[in-house]
A and B are shown apart, each in its own frame.
Chain A
Amino acid sequence: MKVALFVPCLMDRFLPDAGMAAARLLESAGVQVVVDSRLTCCGQPAVNAGHPDLARKMALRMLKLAEHELPVVVPSGSCVAMMRDSYGLMDLSGQDAERWRSLRGRVFELAEFLVERGLTNRVTARCEARVVVHHSCHHLRHVAGSGALAVLLERLEGASLLESEQARQCCGFGGVFSSKLPELSIAMGRARLDAMLKLEPRYIALADAGCVLQLSGILEGEGLSKRAQVVHYAQLFTGDGLKPLDAGE
């Protein structure tokens, strides 16, 4: 099986380890991965800021470049939600609408893809650590629910998965929101982190690049990076970029 892996802009530029982890996780499930380096950004920032017209060009470009038969796998729930649903705000017609229909049917979030294709039993991985999973909002509410990730995480041996009571509450990133009302955005992130750090995790795993940047940015800004590392869940499976338990900072 072959897929086109789309590692979105934020992850490509700020969290390349997470991108590598996504690729390797797919490969470990026996999937052949190709990457089209012409694909950059799905257009989410402009749409979320209420300027769908400005995202249109990016959407059209995405639709054209993704005009192939391969499943498109994205390790980011918000970008999947964007391509599946929000492209509907752009008055696509004719060939573009056709392309969108095709893409909608074959764009998947990473865990969602592995679960839907029944590939998780091929995944074996070990991660001897305490892990808190935080549910990224779009992944949770618009894409895969909490089910797919839970099924995938069952394949992670050795990890003790901890439940934070705030695991389903927004980390406060929100794209432009994080810049328009930074104090509020940070207060939201801070509350989630406080709840999670109480559980003394080694890793805090999320499903979206923006959320990883938000929570790791706050941990670092507050000098708490030694307490835990914020990662994309794929990294738990492949070890890409994970800081070992004792090394801390």
Chain B
Amino acid sequence: MADLRDIVREKLADNALQAALARALGIVRGKRTAAVSELASFEDAKAVAAAVRSNAVQRLKDYLPQLEARLADEGTHVLWARDAAEACRMIVDIARQRSVRRCVMSKSMVAEEIGLEAALKNAGTVVVQSDLGERVVQLAHQKPSHITAPCLHLSAAEVGRILHEKSGIELSSDPEKLSRAVARTLRPVFLDAQMAVSGVNFAVAETGNLVLVENEGNGRMGYTMAPVHVAVTGIEKVVGTLADAAALLAVLPRSATGQRATCYVSILPPRPFPGQERFLVLVDNGRSAAFGAGPMRDVLRCIRCGACMNACPVYERVGGHVYGWTYPGPIGIVLAPFLGPQEVRAEISDLCSLCGACTEVCPVGIPLDRLIVLARGLSHSCRPAAVVKRERSALEWFGRAMGGRVSYRLSHLGHKLARAWFPKKLARTEAELGWSGVRTAPGPAAVLFRSRFKRRAAAEDGTADEGSGGEV
């Protein structure tokens, strides 16, 4: 992986990206705020949703077997995949055994996470993404940059150009028009597909229902028409009851797109449609590790609404590709230690200023900024030992400087002397720390606050009465 700082620089200088981000995030933030403020108390709804998810995660070991039993009773096959490779193998096998030549895939972050599209393609199956955004990134040979809006990094004009060049759709930058045109190109695909792959928003343990939300209806079209439906999801997506799922539906669309409800909410019965085979592939792929990681377990509460990245001031500046894997933004940082590829685990947690805007909006109460600090702790083992050592020695040096009255004053004096005697050397250090040029490093105070305060107290002594001053 190229140096993260270089990638960031490149994104900051990409004017088209900057414009697309500003526009899209401006809209989605505004819509979310409006959708949230029309409720008497979104905070209450959030608290309920947080309790639902927290309970579901604590009780995973009860709910998952319950879900499996419910589904198996009704004829849905439940498969368990330890990791991405196993999940892909299972799904490829399903396709092979049924000689599936064409597969329609609706938006699924887990499919993205495990690299399912590539696996199916390698096995000779043609895969067509049916979600408009996913279709666009697929045609452009790109990766999604957002978990609910895959082509958020592109302007409407760029989307129009890609669709025009790659699938002959009339040039336009009107999203409505484009979406209708893409729907038309998808019709034969739906008729022809022998297999549909979808994600799952919530799997209900008590009833065996699979709940899926979407806005275009293409997902539903795919998995109701194809003779084989493979729903693939993470093991954490289970909830106890339909009422639990309803509590989450109250916060999910408002948080994600600022909608009261998505255009389509599908609640699939546990029994496959007549003449259809259905599989539910439950993917672990690091989730058990997160489950066993103390306070980090809370990352499993996530319902993938994307609100945290929409609110994130870092995401806003650099977009989703910088994070280097399927899940960008704050949630991507805290999932990376468990689900992320090795190469992103070292640096991804640097992409955060710990402002807490994500935690403020997360509808299921994940303390994201707190967990990012912990993720930084976990990142050290993935970074070059020398780098970590350097960082630790600098912090140790700082600790010693701050560790006593004398060393504290000496280090301040040292700073002042360096400024007077070795300004060039100091300037180099400041530049290394990123404080130079367009951001001037602060100079050390001529007199520390503590000294000023003491002097004032001393001056007042005798003249003043019981006034302020002195030491504790």
Point out residues on A near B: beta carbons under 8 Å: 4, 7, 9, 11-16, 18-20, 23, 26-27, 31-38, 40-41, 43, 45-52, 54-55, 57-58, 61, 68, 70, 85-86, 89, 137-138, 141-142, 168-170, 172-175, 177-189, 191, 213-214, 216-218, 220-222
A70 and chain B: residue at smallest CB distance: B472
Determine which of A7, A12, A23 lies in contact with B468 in the assembled complex, contact meaning CB atoms within 8 Å: A23
Can you pick out 21 interface pairs between chain A and chain B where the beta carbons lie within 8 Å of each other? Answer: A12-B450, A16-B447, A18-B449, A19-B452, A35-B471, A36-B471, A48-B376, A50-B374, A50-B375, A58-B402, A58-B403, A85-B370, A174-B352, A174-B353, A174-B354, A178-B434, A180-B5, A184-B318, A185-B439, A191-B317, A221-B438
A residues in contact with B379, CB < 8 Å: 50
A residues in contact with B440, CB < 8 Å: 217, 220-221
A residues in contact with B8, CB < 8 Å: 181, 183-184
> How far is it, in angstroms, between the C-alpha of A185 and the C-alpha of B9 when the chains are bound?
11
Determine which of A11, A13, A182 lies in contact with B434 in the assembled complex, contact meaning CB atoms within 8 Å: A182
B412 within 8 A of A: yes
Could you tell me if A13 and B472 are in contact, using CB atoms closer than 8 angstroms?
no
> How far is it, in angstroms, between the C-alpha of A143 and the C-alpha of B29 when the chains are bound?
24
B349 within 8 A of A: yes
The A-contacting residues of B in range 202-228, CB under 8 angstroms, are none
Could you tell me if B450 and A178 are in contact, using CB atoms closer than 8 angstroms?
no
Could you tell me if B356 and A172 are in contact, using CB atoms closer than 8 angstroms?
no
CB distance from B284 to the nearest CB of A (A): 26
CB distance from A231 to the nearest CB of B (A): 13
The A-contacting residues of B in range 283-320, CB under 8 angstroms, are 313-314, 317-318
A residues in contact with B314, CB < 8 Å: 184, 188
B454 within 8 A of A: yes
The A-contacting residues of B in range 1-22, CB under 8 angstroms, are 4-5, 8-9, 12
Could you tell me if A177 and B466 are in contact, using CB atoms closer than 8 angstroms?
no
Q: Mark B371-406, 1 if CB is under 8 A from A, else 0.
A: 001111111100000000001100110110011110
> How far is it, in angstroms, between the C-alpha of A231 and the C-alpha of B440 when the chains are bound?
16
Q: Mark B114-136, 1 if CB is under 8 A from A, else 0.
A: 00000000000000000000000
Could you tell me if B449 and A27 are in contact, using CB atoms closer than 8 angstroms?
no
A220 and chain B: residue at smallest CB distance: B440
B residues in contact with A31, CB < 8 Å: 468
A residues in contact with B438, CB < 8 Å: 186, 218, 221-222
Given contacts A33-B469, A54-B399, 17 further A-B contacts (CB under 8 A): A14-B445, A19-B450, A35-B450, A46-B395, A46-B399, A50-B373, A50-B376, A50-B379, A51-B391, A141-B355, A173-B353, A179-B435, A180-B434, A182-B439, A185-B434, A191-B317, A222-B438
B412 and chain A: residue at smallest CB distance: A13
> How far is it, in angstroms, between the C-alpha of A38 and the C-alpha of B313 when the chains are bound?
36
> How far is it, in angstroms, between the C-alpha of A54 and the C-alpha of B389 when the chains are bound?
12
Could you tell me if A9 and B453 are in contact, using CB atoms closer than 8 angstroms?
no
Could you tell me if B472 and A34 are in contact, using CB atoms closer than 8 angstroms?
yes
Could you tell me if A23 and B453 are in contact, using CB atoms closer than 8 angstroms?
yes
The A-contacting residues of B in range 443-462, CB under 8 angstroms, are 443-445, 447-450, 452-454
Known interface pairs A179-B435, A184-B12, A184-B318. Does A137 touch B450 (Cβ–Cβ under 8 Å)? no
> How far is it, in angstroms, between the C-alpha of A242 and the C-alpha of B378 when the chains are bound?
43
